[in-house]
């Protein structure tokens, strides 16, 4: 039996990339593996660089934990403007029973 797939849509400076995801995968890793431009992930996912800054679908954010203190601090350091739905992609995992997640990559976002 296969786990239900979550469809994650990344909007970025070059267009749209759509990937299938399973629970437990984080948004940064999904983006990097798919070659999404603008997600440099320089620290490798340890919430220490903010180069995976993304604007995440607010409906989805209601179903995941709030940023911890480390992520919150890094979001303040991000190059791009911080918005209410700003998150570090490496700190946001796909949770079960989610059909879709829409994400805008912060780098290059209008």
| Residues in touch with ligand FES (CB under 6 A) | 28, 41-43, 45, 47-52, 74, 88, 90
Cβ(73)–Cβ(47) under 8 Å? Answer: no
* Closer residue to ligand FES in complex, CB, 19/47: 47
CB of 1 to ligand FES, least distance (A): 32
- Mapping DSSP to helix (H, G, I), strand (E, B) and coil, where does residue 9 land? strand
Pairwise CA distance, residues 49 & 33, whole Å: 18
16 HSE (CA, 13 A, CB side): 6
CB of 48 to ligand FES, least distance (A): 6
* Closer residue to ligand FES in complex, CB, 3/76: 76
């Amino acid at each position: 039996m296969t786990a239900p797939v979550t469809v994650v849509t990344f909007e970025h400076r070059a267009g749209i990339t759509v990937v299938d995801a399973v629970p437990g995968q984080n948004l940064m890793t999904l983006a990097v593996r798919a070659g999404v431009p603008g997600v440099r992930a320089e620290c490798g996912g340890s919430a220490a660089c903010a180069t995976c800054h993304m604007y995440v679908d607010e409906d989805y954010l209601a179903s995941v934990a709030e940023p911890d203190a480390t992520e919150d601090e890094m979001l303040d350091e991000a190059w791009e403007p911080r918005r209410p739905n700003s998150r570090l992609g490496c700190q946001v995992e796909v949770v079960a029973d989610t059909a879709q997640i829409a994400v805008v990559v912060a780098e290059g976002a209008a």
